[in-house]
Structure 1
Amino acid sequence: MREMTEKLHDFLLQHIDEMSQEWLDSREVEENSIYTADASSETTEYLREQNQYFTRTIVKVLTGKSLETLSDWAQKVAKGRAQRGEPLYQSIKHFKKFRLIFLKQIESFFYLHPSSITYEDLFLWNKLVNEAFDQTIELFTVYYEQVSDAQSHAQQMLISELSTPVISISDTVGVLPLIGQINDYKNSNFAEKVLLQAKELNLSCLIIDLSGVSSIDTMMTNDLFQVIKMLDLLGIETTITGIRPEISLTAVQLGIDMSRLRTYGKLKDAIDKLLH
């Protein structure tokens, strides 16, 4: 068995270029994917190098070598794929494609030496190769998710930093444009940031523009009007623009008195009124 395993090892190494090319030829045109068939020659060579390093490591497993270096490879490649936003399923799909190509080469080797290879040999090789591929995919997934989670956390931190930008448009008037879903502001110390910024800018009037808000629930409507009350306690008058019918309805259902609030349909109208 040992002798045939060594021969298989050498056979696979001799066919690395062939396996890599077959894998590269199997690519399809996929928009915004590193794996697309119409990728630049530089990207194609980059993929070839990564694939061939992976292949050499898998081949070594047949002769009892450790998969430790494969962990380093999986971490490096997964980090690159995650940072460029490549979907995880794309990479897993290509792992599966290459696994079939690799096993097909073992099959070719068997047909070259049918009388010298036992079923025991085939079962062992199949077991070692599949375990190596499965472990690589598992490691790749773990590292990919680690990088993806870190990026997501960084983005959330950035959103938190930028989610309440009070813009000063005069010595006494500022604008707070809210964009997206109000729920996005729930965990970003929304009220505290608005109050601090309004106070730091010495505003006497703050325009809260809701025209960019896509949805708002009862809890956040209540929280928003609590912020307006706190601004009032600081002597800062609030003007609301772009208010949607559902927000008005929710406010009424909550028993919020909107009669004391100045409201305008458009931000431009409020600015024109307050500045002129």
Structure 2
Amino acid sequence: MQEMTEKLHDFLLEDIDEMSQEWLDSREVEKDSIYTADASSETTEYLRVQNQYFTCKIVKVLIGESLDTLSDWAQEVAAKRAQRGDSLYHSIHHFKKFRLIFFKQIESFFHLHSSSITYEELFLWNKVVNEAFDRMIELFTLYYGQVSEAQSQAQKMLISELSTPVISISDTVGVLPLIGQVDDYKNSDFAKKVMPQAKELNLSCLIIDLSGAPSINTMMTNELFQVIKMLDLLGIDTTITGIRPEIALTAVQLGIDMSKLKTYGKLKDAVNKLLHE
């Protein structure tokens, strides 16, 4: 059994160039994908080198090399794909496509040596190769997800930093525009950012404009009104503009007294009023 496995190993190594070329030739034009058929020659060669290294690793698994050796390659390539913004779908699709090409080469080897190959050997090769491909896809998906999650968290932190700026429009009046989806990730540091900014600018009035926020959840609504109370303790009056009916309803349901709160439908109305007082 070992003799034919080693012959298969050598046969596949000799055909690495052929398998890589067949895979590259099978590409189609895919929008926003590194695998697109109209990629540059540099990208094509880059893919060829990666594919040949991967193929070599899979072939060596046939003669007993551990599946753990696939981890470093999977981590490196998955990170690069995620950082480029290539979709996970395209990568998995091409793993599956190359698996078919790989098995076609095993089939060619079988036809050349059918009289010397037992069904036991054939089943073993099928099992080992499929396990190797499956393990690679699992590792690739895992590492891709980790990098994507890290990127997502970094983007959320950046958005959070940029989404709560207090803008000074006069010596004593500032505006805090809340823009975009105001969800839970802003809750934890919303007050910590707004309070120091308002104090540092020496404001006597802060306009919080909600017209750019399509929705605000219950937790964030509560946080917002807690900030208004804290600003009042600092001697800073708060005016709300662009408040939506659903936000007002949530505030009432939370038991928040809005009767003493200054509100305007439009930001420009509040600005005109406060700047000309």
TM over 0.5: yes
The 2-side partners of 1:19 and 1:187 are apart by 53
Report which stretch shifted further, 3-12 or 260-269: 260-269
Aligned CA RMSD, in angstroms, stands at 2.0
Aligned to 1:168: 168
3-state DSSP of counterpart to 1:182: coil
3-state DSSP of counterpart to 1:213: coil
Q: CA deviation at 1:152?
A: 2.5
The 1-side partners of 2:180 and 2:154 are apart by 19
For the structure 1 residues 12 and 254, does the alpha-carbon distance in structure 2 shift closer, same or farther, using more than 3 Å as the test? Answer: closer
Q: CA deviation at 1:88?
A: 2.0
1:134 paired to 2:105: no
The 1-side partners of 2:145 and 2:252 are apart by 44
Q: CA deviation at 1:255?
A: 4.7
1:26 paired to 2:33: no
Aligned to 2:115: 115
The 2-side partners of 1:252 and 1:272 are apart by 28
1:273 paired to 2:270: no
Once the two structures are superposed, what CA deviation does each residue of 1:123-179 show, in whole Å capped at 9, x if it has no partner? 121122112112211221222222222222322333343342112222211111112
Q: Which amino acid in the other structure matches residue 251 of structure 2?
A: A
3-state DSSP of counterpart to 2:179: strand
The 2-side partners of 1:135 and 1:219 are apart by 42
Conservation of the 8 A alpha-carbon contact between 1:62 and 1:128: yes
Q: Which amino acid in the other structure matches residue 122 of structure 1?
A: L
Structural mapping, 1:184-199, within 5 Å = 184=184, 186-199=186-199
For these two proteins, the number of residue pairs brought into alignment is 276
The 1-side partners of 2:3 and 2:254 are apart by 81
Runs of at least 5 residues in structure 2 that lack an aligned partner in the other structure: none
For the structure 1 residues 184 and 218, does the alpha-carbon distance in structure 2 shift closer, same or farther, using more than 3 Å as the test? Answer: closer
Conservation of the 8 A alpha-carbon contact between 2:240 and 2:264: yes
For the structure 1 residues 109 and 249, does the alpha-carbon distance in structure 2 shift closer, same or farther, using more than 3 Å as the test? Answer: same
The 2-side partners of 1:11 and 1:2 are apart by 14
The 1-side partners of 2:91 and 2:243 are apart by 45
Aligned to 1:227: 227
The 2-side partners of 1:230 and 1:193 are apart by 13
Q: CA deviation at 1:242?
A: 1.4
Report which stretch shifted further, 252-261 or 91-100: 252-261
Aligned to 1:249: 249
The 2-side partners of 1:137 and 1:185 are apart by 31
Conservation of the 8 A alpha-carbon contact between 1:62 and 1:129: yes
Q: CA deviation at 1:253?
A: 4.4
Q: Which amino acid in the other structure matches residue 62 of structure 2?
A: L
1:2 paired to 2:2: yes
Report which stretch shifted further, 244-253 or 175-184: 244-253
The 2-side partners of 1:2 and 1:222 are apart by 70
Conservation of the 8 A alpha-carbon contact between 2:184 and 2:220: no
For the structure 1 residues 185 and 271, does the alpha-carbon distance in structure 2 shift closer, same or farther, using more than 3 Å as the test? Answer: farther
The 2-side partners of 1:252 and 1:2 are apart by 77
Q: CA deviation at 1:93?
A: 1.7
Q: CA deviation at 1:263?
A: 2.4
Q: CA deviation at 1:252?
A: 4.0
Report which stretch shifted further, 122-131 or 221-230: 221-230
TM-score when normalising by structure 2: 0.90
Report which stretch shifted further, 132-141 or 256-265: 256-265
Runs of at least 5 residues in structure 1 that lack an aligned partner in the other structure: none
The 2-side partners of 1:79 and 1:254 are apart by 44
The 1-side partners of 2:149 and 2:250 are apart by 35
Q: What's the % identity of the aligned pairs?
A: 83
The 1-side partners of 2:22 and 2:245 are apart by 59
The 2-side partners of 1:225 and 1:47 are apart by 54
Aligned to 1:86: 86
The 2-side partners of 1:173 and 1:194 are apart by 14
Once the two structures are superposed, what CA deviation does each residue of 1:91-124 show, in whole Å capped at 9, x if it has no partner? 1221111111101110011111211211122112
Q: CA deviation at 1:262?
A: 2.8
Q: CA deviation at 1:207?
A: 0.9
